[in-house]
Structure 1
Amino acid sequence: MALLFALVNIIGWSLIPLTVKDLPQSQIAGIGIGASVTALIIYLFTGPAFDDATWAVAFIAGMLWTIGQMGQFISYTRIGVSGTIPLSAGFQLVGNSLIGVLIFSEWPTAQAKVIGFIALALVVIGIVLSSRSDDKGSGNANAKNIAFLLIRTIGFWIYSSFPKLIAKDINPGVNGLDYIFPEMLGVLVGTVIYVIGSHSTAVYLNKMIWRNSLAGVEFGIGTLFYLFFVKQNGVTNAFIYSQLCSVISTFGDIWFLHEEKSKRQMTYIIIGLIFIVGAVF
C-alpha cells in the first residue's frame, strides 16, 4: 500500500510542469484554484475532524508552499523546466533530509546516518551536473538564478516538514485526510496574495487559468497521497521517494514540450539525474 501511495504522489506531482502554461502568475493562480477545489471535494466526501491547532499549522504550511512553487515557476522562465526540476529536486532532497534527521531524529542509527549522508553527497553531485549549461542550449543556470531558486526552496522545506510536526507534537492521531483541506486553503490564500501583490489579477480572467487549474488538481491528489506516505514512513523517506517525479518531469519537458538542449547539456542532465535517483535508492 505504501508503494501505491508513493506512485500516485510521484505521478501527480510530475505532471504539474507539463500541464502549466502562460505567465508564472497565471500558473500559480490556477494551482490555487484547482488544489483548493480538489481538497474541498475530498473534505465533503470524507468529513474529517480536525482541531484548531492542526488547522492553523496546515493552513500556514499551504501558504508557505506558495513561496517555493513561485520560485520554481519563475525559474522555468529563467533556467527552463528541464534545468529547474533537477536543481529544485536536489535542493529539496538535501534540505528535507537534514530537517528530518536534525529536528525529527530520523535515521537514528550510525549506519543509517552514514548511508544517508553519502546519498546526500550524491545528490549534491547530481545538482552540480544538472545545472551545467552552455551557449548552445536553452536556460541560464548561472549563480544568481540558482541562488534565487535555492532561497525560494525554503518554502518547500517548511511545507514538507509541517505534516510531521502535526503528527508528532500537535495531534498524533491525525492523517492526510484530516488536514488536506486547510492546507490547500492555505495554498489558495497564498496564491491570491501573490497575484494581488504582483498586480496580476487579470490572470483570473484569462482562459488559460482553467488549464493551470488542472495542474492544481494534480497537485492536490499528489499531496493527499504524499501525506498518507508521510504518516507511514516519515518526512525523510516520503520526500525522498516523492522527488523521483523529477525524472518524469525533466524528460517529459524535453520530449513533449520540446525544450531545446545541446548534446552536452543532455549528457550532464542525464548523469545528474542518475546521481539523484541513485541517491534516492
Structure 2
Amino acid sequence: MQGILYALVPMFAWGSIGFVSNKIGGKPNQQTFGMTLGALLFASIVWLVVRPEMNVLLWGVGIIGGMLWSMGQNGQFHAMQYMGVSVANPLSSGTQLVLGSLIGAIVFGEWTKSIHFILGITALVLLVIGFYFSSRQDSEKDQVGQNLTNFSKGFRALFYSTLGYISYTVLFNNIMHFDALAVILPMAVGMCLGAMMFMRFNVSLEKVVLKNALVGMMWGIGNIFMLLAASTAGLAIAFSFSQLGAIISIIGGIFFLGETKTKKEMRWVLIGILCFVIGAILLGIVKAN
C-alpha cells in the first residue's frame, strides 16, 4: 500500500505540471526557464543532503540529457499553447510511450519473450487508440469557430518535443545508467542551459518566471517519489502510475483552465483515459519482466 501511495505522487506531480504552469502564466520560453530554475534548486538541495559520488562522464552526459529534456519540455509548453493542456499532454505522453517502447523493443531488444510481444503490442494499440480519442475534435464544435490553424502548429511543436524527450529517455534508460540521485544535479544544469538557449540567453528573472519555479520543484518531487515507488512497490507499479499523469492533465485542463469539451468530446476523452490506463499498466508489466 505504501508503494502505491508513493507511486501516486509522480502521477499527480508530473501530470499537474502543464495546467499549473499555464495557470501561473507566461510564454513557453518563460515557463521552461522558470521550471528549470526550480529543478536546479531542488537538485542542489538533493546534492547537499545526499552528496553522491560524481565524475566527469556523469556531468557531461547529465548536462546533455538535461538539454534534450528542455527541448522536450519547451516543445510541450508550445503545444499546450496551441492545442490546450487537455489535448497536448495526452498526445505527448502517448507518443513518447509508443515510440520509446518500440525503440526499446526493436533497437535494444527489451522484449525477449512471446508474452512481452503480446502484452507490448496490445498496450501500444491501446495507447494509440487512447491518444486518438483524447485529442479527437467534434466537427460541430469546429463549425462554430474552432481554429485548427493552431492545431497544426501544435503538432509541429509536439514533433520536436517528442524528439527531445525520446532522445533523453534513450540516453538515460538504454545507453547510460546512472544513479538518479547523482545525475539529477548535472541534468538540472543542462536543463537550465537548454532553457536559456531557447531564450537566446536573453534571460530575465521576471515574476512569472520565478513563479514557474514551483513547477520545477514539482518535477523534482516526482522524481524522488518515483524512486521510492520503484523500490517499495516494484517497477511495474511505479512505471504504470507515473505514465498516468496524462489523465491528471486532461482533468486539470478541463476543470482548472476551462478548456471546453462538447458532450461527444467528453465521451471520447473517457474512452481515451480508459485505454491509457490499461495500456500503461500492460507496459509496466512488460517493463518489470
Which amino acid in structure 2 is aligned with residue 151 of structure 1? Y
Question: Any idea what SS the aligned residue of 2:212 has?
Answer: helix
Helix, strand or coil at the partner of 1:35: helix
Q: Deviations over 1:178-222 (max 9, x none)?
A: 11111111111111111126x5x34x2x21122211001111221
1:77-97 deviation per Cα after TM superposition (whole angstroms, max 9, x unaligned): 111011111111110110121
Residue 196 of structure 1 aligns to a residue in which SS? coil
Where does 1:1-281 land on structure 2 (aligned, <5 Å)? 3-20=4-21, 21-134=25-138, 135=142, 140=148, 142-143=151-152, 145-164=154-173, 165-167=175-177, 174-196=178-200, 201-202=203-204, 204=205, 206-226=206-226, 239-281=239-281
Over residues 61-91 of structure 1, what are the superposed CA-to-partner deviations in whole Å (9 max), with x where a residue is unaligned? 1110111111110111111011111111110
Taking structure 2 as the reference length, what is the TM-score of the superposition? 0.84
Q: CA separation in 2, counterparts of 1:255 and 1:18? A: 10
Task: Judge conservation of contact 1:163–1:227 (CA < 8 Å) in 2.
Answer: no
> CA separation in 2, counterparts of 1:47 and 1:138?
52
> Which amino acid is 2:12 matched to?
I
| 1:123 match: secondary structure | helix
1:170 counterpart residue number: none
Cross-structure match for 1:171: none
* CA 195–61 in structure 1, closer or farther in 2 if over 3 Å, else same: same
- Which sits farther off after the overlay, 26-35 or 128-137? 128-137
Gapped runs of 5+ residues in structure 1? 168-173
> Residue deviations 1:110-130, cap 9 Å, x none?
111111111101111112212
| Residue 266 to residue 148, structure 1, CA distance change in 2 (3 Å) | same
Shift of 1:105: 2.8
* Structure 2 residue identity aligned to 1:92: Q
After superposing the two structures, state which structure 1 stretch, 108-117 or 239-248, moved more: 239-248
- Check whether the contact 2:84–2:253 (CA below 8 A) recurs between aligned residues: no
User: Cα RMSD between the aligned structures?
Assistant: 2.5
The number of residues matched between the two structures is: 270
Q: Which runs of 5+ in 2 are unaligned?
A: 282-289
Letter in 2 for 1:195: M
What amino acid does structure 1 have at the position aligned with 2:162?
Answer: T
Q: Is the 8 A contact 1:48 1:177 kept in 2?
A: yes
Amino acid at match of 1:259: E
In structure 2, C-alpha distance between the alignment counterparts of 1:148 and 1:192, rounded to whole Å: 18
Native 8 Å contact 1:175 1:228 kept in 2: no
